Chains A and B, each alone.
Chain A
């Protein structure tokens, strides 16, 4: 049983379309991180959110942390082929503590 559930598991869209990935849990996290992972590589940190209701923007990516700090979403506007990859959310129960990962969402952006 995964503590963090990501949906959808797979998303295929055309370049220029928008997409949203969800990360849900019944547990409260002190912080939540989003990573992108390319095949054969380690996850690369995109953003960390720590405050309930927080919204962070990174160019075309918008990250939101739920008010109760149990869920998060990642929205990509006008997706590009370079956005293709595995998106992982990961939560920490306390500062400096281990991360619990979701199962990942594989995003394919077609030209």
Chain B
């Protein structure tokens, strides 16, 4: 399977704990995006990388959130001191720079539940 891969698929954590999610994009894609989706809503943009550079961060990304893409391949999203409001589906997508029509392909997501 050469699609976008996310791990874990599900994560249940206690409030105040730190969690880290991983995303492996489609191998030739140099752009990687993180989105968050709450129940009944469309995904909301969090941040994106071109290669290893983080080019944009949403105001939704508080200082408890940090994302990295150290070698321009996989990415991690860490949430520190989780709160119940962080419960959501975290989606990763990738695309290829230079594609003028911006086709982004999504992974299956990581569902986070903070109890």
Contacts and interface: CB of A to CB of B under 8 A. Distances in A.
B42 A88 contact: yes
Contact of A33 (B40, B103, B111): B103
A interface majority secondary structure: loop
B67 interface: no
A96 B91 contact: no
Given A96-B31, A96-B98, A96-B99, A33 B42 contact: no
B59 to A, nearest CB: 13
Interface string B42-61: 11110010100000100000
B101 interface: yes
A62 interface: no
A88 B42 CA distance: 7
Contacts of B106: 35, 42-45
Interface string A40-53: 11111100101000
Contacts of A88: 42-43
A95 B104 contact: no
A99 interface: yes
Q: How many residues of B sit at the interface, in one of the four size bands?
A: 20 to 34
Nearest to B6: A42
Given A40-B111, A42-B107, A96 B102 contact: yes
B109 A31 contact: no
A41 B109 contact: yes
Interface of A: 2, 4, 6, 30-31, 33, 35, 40-45, 48, 50, 88, 90, 92, 94-104
Given A45-B106, A98-B45, 20 more contacts: A4-B42, A31-B101, A33-B102, A43-B43, A43-B91, A44-B106, A50-B101, A90-B42, A90-B43, A90-B104, A95-B99, A95-B101, A96-B31, A96-B50, A96-B95, A96-B97, A98-B56, A99-B45, A99-B104, A103-B40
